[in-house]
Structure 1
Amino acid sequence: MTRDHLRHVAETSQSWPFEEAKKILEKLKGEVPSKGYILFETGYGPSGLPHIGTFGEVARTTMVRHAFSLLSDIPTRLYAVSDDMDGLRKVPDNIPNKDIIAPHLGKPLTQIPDPFGTHQSFGHHNNARLKAFLDSFGFDYEFISSSEQYKAGTFDVMLQKVLEHYEEIINIILPTLGPERRATYSPFLPVSPLSGRVLQVPILERHPERGTIVFEDEDGKKVESPVTGGHCKLQWKADWGMRWAAFDVNYEMSGKDLIDSVKLSSRICRVLGKEPPEGFNYELFLDQQGTKISKSKGNGLSIEDWLKYAPQESLAYYMYQSPRKAKRLYFDVIPRQVDDYVNFLNAYETQTPEQRLNNPVWHIHQGHPPQVELPLTFGILLNLASVCNTEDKAVLWGFISRYASEATPPKMPLLDRLVEYALIYYRDFVKPNKHYRAPTDIEKEALEDLHKSLKDVSPDAEALQALVFEVGKRHNYTNLREWFLCLYQILLGQDEGPRMGSFIALYGVEEMRRLIEEAILRK
């Protein structure tokens, strides 16, 4: 298919990355920006380490960027901006050598010693972690240090404009503040020449003609300081709007909790003479109880947790689907995300161009999904590990090779990875919670019938599935879900399980009959 044809298909695609990319194009009204490219931006607070939300924001932005690149020939860039000039408010709990940090509280992160002893500052250390994190996922981005941009004068023109439009900007922010904060608020946070700390103090005088402000330093003396050259930084809402104006950002997304901040920063951006970027507000993650995930509470799932049990493509799929819908983020969601990702991957090769551009794997793999067709789901692999009660990879591959002779680890590396993940997930989550129950007398009769019926059946998955259904109907299971729940609880020791026909075909008919024999004798 030609690129022109693919672009035509993309223009009618309703997948959310294309919808977002179309918003950018509509705003351009057919004109190329004077800077010659479209700028996407993501922000990062480097007082902590990158986390699953960091991945989600960059992954989603990358999907929109790639969708835009199909709709338009205008070049694109992605800035990953670190707010490393922010003053550190408290000593983090998860660092060594906390005693060397405490005396430097209030200073920009790039002016605080590195407690890990590996970089010139704490900010540089965390920036390096961010870059390594993004690099590990293969993201295409340009790293931007806010501290370096302030000091290099990149923001000087806009900082001067903030000073000139001081009252206008103040009047945007003040109605959102409480009485006490309103009395001392200023968009400028001067850096103390005495201590190097970022000060949150009233501005006593403003001199736009000189580009300076006057404030009281920590020793009580008045200081006149330029607002440019890194001598001041802005409060974050003003900083956000100023940065959009200075860089001429075209697109930035943010969490639903920042909707009001986006509105304020957009107004400030307009005061500075630029249009704010397009973007959308994604929903926040919830824990298993439906409560908002909080880093301080530790009630969430870390990216390390996810990648221990599933491939990163499944995490990208989780981020792709329904970004405006609040989703629960806990361990039990992982198997379903893996299987959904694999199902979309399996379907891709036979889809029409229209279907492909609406397939999540097109966005996850930047338009080039790998050509794979897996004979088994992650859920079935989990149940196979459960029934075999094994953590040995070779045991699972023994069953897989018998079920699908063409499947080998070298030929199907993704399946091999899923086998490894399934064993780890089984060890940590399934095995500790397995509980087999004995069958009732009525259930024994149904199991004996299934045991007998399996003796002469074809090992085909569809035939086996039909047989299981028929046995359930013969024993008056009007709701066949109850029959399958019975099989899961008695045979697998859990409340959920696989499609039984596929599982029996994989596990083996005779092995299944022996499993039923053991269950019937259970007391």
Structure 2
Amino acid sequence: MSEQEIIGKGTWIDKLASELLEREKSLGRNLDLLKVESGLGASGIPHIGSLGDAVRAYGVKLALENLGYKSELIAYSDDLDGLRKIPEGMQEFGLEEHLAKPVSLIPDPYGCHDSYGMHMSSILLDGLEKVGIKYEFRRAIDTYKQGVLKDNIHTILQNSTKIGEKISELVGQEKYQKYLPYFPVCANCNRLYTAEATEYIIDEKKVKYRCHDAEIGSKMIKGCGHEGEADIAKDLGKLAWKVEFAARWAAFDIRFEAYGKDIMDSVKVNDWVADEILDFPHPHHVKYEMFLDKGGKKISKSLGNVLTAQRWLEFGSPKSILLLLYKRITGARELGLEDIPSLMNEYNELEDINFGRVKIDNKAKLVKSKGLYEYVNLLNPPKQASTHVNYRLLIELAKIFKENRNERVMKKLLDYGVIKNPEPEIEKLIELAGNYSDEFDEQEKTQIDLDETAKKALKILADTLGADEEPEDIQNTIYQIAKANDVQPKDFFKILYQIILGTSRGPKIGPFISDIGRKQVAKKLSEYT
């Protein structure tokens, strides 16, 4: 890769920002402020995937600023969305009566925010703040109440017949050939999706609606039968998703928004509405795959397999989350807390590359690795590298020492020569690894390619360590077993580090095996023979 081919920091984020700029220039639009947006779902507990949407949009904002342009992230909470399902684990809060009501009109079951919707939004905003993301927060309920979208709503409803036909053509949904793409909140029962609008009175800017039974989230919700008119400027209501993004993009002047493949159809229609109905060129997009749990199911608020940023941060650093989200954007990924140790260690490897401790001959890989490191540090990287301690090493030590854990693990790190001085940063790492070791008994088995010679040597060592008579010098025993079985000692030591710590190096292995327990190590080695 030549110098000329490297864009910004050499990552996918820079490539996206560059594509966005080229498109904006070709459209001839003002480049004084380039706004990027992330939608925040407020109908259930927000998970890492929800956080990822905003974190990645923020990365594009940073890349635009790095290229010399002013940018800001708008985090938009869709808190006028109706509650379609009761999230797993929240059945005891009596939310059944609030199904189909806007989440901003449902009381907070926990009693600490002005609504259910704001409670859920606050969890995501707290996660963003914990990982260092800065944003301009907007709420749907305020946006609609303040009339920010009213002109766009008026234009969309004037063109509802044309839009209904296009929705049918693009995605095969015929609903909006019968109803308007706008849901007023029923003045009688406060429900949203049961109040379906059938007619727009253009000169009065009012919709006629009737509240009737509707299937919402595979459940039939009874309508109250109320018939009425709703003023789009004064009464509370909400555009359908098939057109709402477009109205928002035009009102906020949004130039970039990523989207998950689960809303592809909505984005396709909204792009057309923005371009053809609102005369606002739709934002630059990138499509991302959804995060899956370790069973291969989509992480979902309603399924209850949610992994929140707060839960992740009990065990891993904010930088481990940012690394997860900035590594790449394409491809579905299975995600679980068991990924934390490798991400914690991977960050250290990136830092070593950044500060020249590890040499990378491939220019493109070097630039990309350094760029990724800078984005994980939100383009404000430290001036010098931190003290690195293998996270799996800390987990193993934390399993041994339950009492006075920080002090005793720190002493072992000093004894092993892993660190020179105790540091507050290392204390925090010990605390995180301690939480991890207390919660999870086993680490994922490291996949290693072993030939028969290495397997034979491992079996002999496992049998030796598992015997009642303890080897006086474990370090020398390992060395002798390797030599006697035609395995290079340095290769054998590397294999042991990979099995025990998931890395190619670590503290002196003999004393370390003695500390964590010979029979425990023997059991782990026997899994590879």
Taking structure 1 as the reference length, the TM-score comes to 0.80
Q: Which residue of 2 aligns with 1:398?
A: 411
1:261 aligns with 2:266: yes
Which structure ranks higher in relative contact order (CA pairs < 8 Å, sequence separation ≥ 6)? 2
Q: Deviations over 1:65-84 (max 9, x none)?
A: 101101123x2121111111
Q: Decide whether aligned partners of structure 1 residues 256 and 508 sit closer, same or farther in structure 2, where only a CA change above 3 A counts.
A: same
Q: Secondary structure at the match of 1:77?
A: strand
Q: Which runs of 5+ in 1 are unaligned?
A: 1-6, 458-466, 489-493
Q: 1:508 aligns with which of 501, 511, 516?
A: 511
Write the distance in 1 (CA, Å) between the matches of 2:5 and 2:385.
24
1:243 aligns with 2:248: yes
Q: Which residue of 2 aligns with 1:474?
A: 484
Q: Which residue of 2 aligns with 1:460?
A: none
Q: 1:272 aligns with which of 275, 278, 285?
A: 278
Give the drift of 1:275: 0.8
1:418 aligns with 2:418: no
- Provide the aligned C-alpha RMSD in A: 4.2
Q: Which runs of 5+ in 2 are unaligned?
A: 213-223, 446-457
1:369 aligns with 2:381: yes
Q: Secondary structure at the match of 2:183?
A: strand
Q: 1:138 aligns with which of 129, 132, 135?
A: 132
Count of matched residue pairs = 490
1:39–1:249 contact (8 Å) kept in structure 2: yes
Q: Which residue of 1 aligns with 2:394?
A: 381
Q: Which residue of 2 aligns with 1:209?
A: 203
Q: Decide whether aligned partners of structure 1 residues 519 and 121 sit closer, same or farther in structure 2, where only a CA change above 3 A counts.
A: closer
Give the drift of 1:262: 1.5
Q: Decide whether aligned partners of structure 1 residues 289 and 130 sit closer, same or farther in structure 2, where only a CA change above 3 A counts.
A: closer
Bigger mean CA offset, 232-241 vs 301-310: 301-310
Q: Which residue of 2 aligns with 1:43?
A: 39
Q: Decide whether aligned partners of structure 1 residues 190 and 333 sit closer, same or farther in structure 2, where only a CA change above 3 A counts.
A: same
Write the distance in 1 (CA, Å) between the matches of 2:326 and 2:247.
30
Give the drift of 1:502: 2.8
1:150–1:229 contact (8 Å) kept in structure 2: no
Q: Secondary structure at the match of 1:309?
A: coil
Amino acid at match of 2:62: H
Bigger mean CA offset, 203-212 vs 316-325: 203-212
Taking structure 2 as the reference length, the TM-score comes to 0.79
Q: Decide whether aligned partners of structure 1 residues 97 and 115 sit closer, same or farther in structure 2, where only a CA change above 3 A counts.
A: farther
Q: 1:284 aligns with which of 284, 287, 290?
A: 290
Overall identity of the aligned pairs, in %: 26
Q: Secondary structure at the match of 1:195?
A: coil
1:40–1:77 contact (8 Å) kept in structure 2: yes
Q: Deviations over 1:148-182 (max 9, x none)?
A: 11111110110111022112211122346778846
Q: Which residue of 1 aligns with 2:93?
A: 98
Q: 1:103-502, aligned counterparts within 5 Å?
A: 103-175=97-169, 181=175, 184-217=178-211, 222-270=227-275, 271-299=277-305, 301-350=307-356, 355=366, 358-359=369-370, 360-370=372-382, 371-385=384-398, 388=400, 392-404=405-417, 407-410=420-423, 413-430=424-441, 444=463, 471-472=481-482, 474-476=484-486, 496-498=500-502, 502=506
Give the drift of 1:105: 3.6
Q: Decide whether aligned partners of structure 1 residues 162 and 480 sit closer, same or farther in structure 2, where only a CA change above 3 A counts.
A: same
Q: Which residue of 2 aligns with 1:86?
A: 81
Amino acid at match of 2:302: S
1:15 aligns with 2:7: no
Write the distance in 2 (CA, Å) between the matches of 1:288 and 1:136.
25
1:96–1:115 contact (8 Å) kept in structure 2: no
2:107–2:116 contact (8 Å) kept in structure 1: yes
2:416–2:508 contact (8 Å) kept in structure 1: no
Q: 2:72 aligns with which of 46, 70, 77?
A: 77
Write the distance in 2 (CA, Å) between the matches of 1:98 and 1:447.
53
